A and B are shown apart, each in its own frame.
Chain A
Amino acid sequence: MGKDYKTKKFEIEYAKCVWGLLCSLSSVDQERNNISLFNVVEQINIPIEFFVQQKKENKNLVFPFSYEVVLCWRRTLDIGISNEEILADFKIKVVDPSGKILQEILSPLKFPKGIKRLRSRLVMQGMLASMAGDYAYHVEIKLPNQNDFEKVLEIPLEVREVSSPK
């Protein structure tokens, strides 16, 4: 037991993802330092013609749909205990209903000294939709003490196929 204690590597979790979601628009109140999220997106309706066209062209098309991926991160240790700069990276993987990764975004994440919380807002102008069904946005982080990315959050999105109004 004593040996285990000596050889065990204690991993410090420097930062964690507190929450994340998709929305049409977010707006930050500069004075109060709060964020407003407008139209949180859980489902999008795509006209059936889009999928028909996609099949015809035999390639993934971008559905024009403006949205934001908003993530909130925070230090796990209080800045009174550890106030070091944290340099990490995060990835967002857009996974379709068949499990295929359609899109990947790699982004650095830097907690400067004295900063407790971070918000990441990724503004997207379109979405790749290979089929109707349940999509997932996998959020992964690679902290300074880690060799690989670790999934910390999964944001679901349902894509529904709808008939266009006549």
Chain B
Amino acid sequence: MKIEDDKTIDARYVRIKKGQITHTKKERDWLLFDCAANGDVLGVEILDFSKHPVSIFTVGKNFFGCSLIKSKPLGKDQESLGLTVDSPEHEKDSQFAFA
């Protein structure tokens, strides 16, 4: 996985593997999958990345899914933060497994 950040437009592109992109699948307004002709995901584009922190899962060299990170401050002093990342099988509303 190779990360390319464009801070001017607050976007992130994660290249999963090399290949010819034939089409783009819009999973959400802010989440796009670049795909090859055989349907393999070659890259994931996340728009408004600061608002949509996303974890990306791969198995071998293949894209498996991605999941929105939930974070919340903990405790009274708010000096630490808990982040939870659910693997794509978990909690349907926060996961975007490609099927």
Contact = CB atoms under 8 A, between A and B. Distances in A.
Chain B: number of interface residues, binned into ranges: 20 to 34
B8 interface: no
Contacts, number: 99
Given A106-B3, A114-B79, A120-B83, A60 B59 contact: yes
Given A89-B3, A106-B14, A123-B85, A115 B56 contact: no
Contacts of B82: 28, 35, 118-119, 121
A86 B82 CA distance: 15
A30 interface: yes
A114 B78 contact: yes
B14 to A, nearest CB: 7
A55 interface: no
Q: What is the predominant secondary structure among interface residues of chain B facing chain A?
A: strand
A118 B85 CA distance: 13
Contact of A112 (B57, B64, B81): B81
A102 B81 contact: no
B80 A123 contact: no
Interface string A137-157: 000001000000000000000
A106 B78 contact: no
28 contacts: A28-B82, A31-B75, A33-B75, A33-B76, A35-B82, A103-B57, A103-B58, A103-B59, A104-B1, A105-B57, A106-B55, A106-B56, A108-B54, A114-B78, A114-B79, A115-B81, A116-B79, A118-B82, A119-B81, A119-B82, A121-B83, A122-B86, A122-B87, A123-B86, A123-B87, A124-B87, A126-B89, A128-B59
Given A33-B77, A122-B84, 17 more contacts: A31-B76, A33-B76, A91-B1, A103-B58, A103-B64, A105-B57, A106-B55, A108-B49, A110-B53, A110-B71, A111-B81, A117-B79, A118-B80, A119-B82, A123-B84, A123-B86, A125-B87
Interface of A: 28, 30-33, 35, 60, 79, 89, 91, 101-112, 114-126, 128, 142
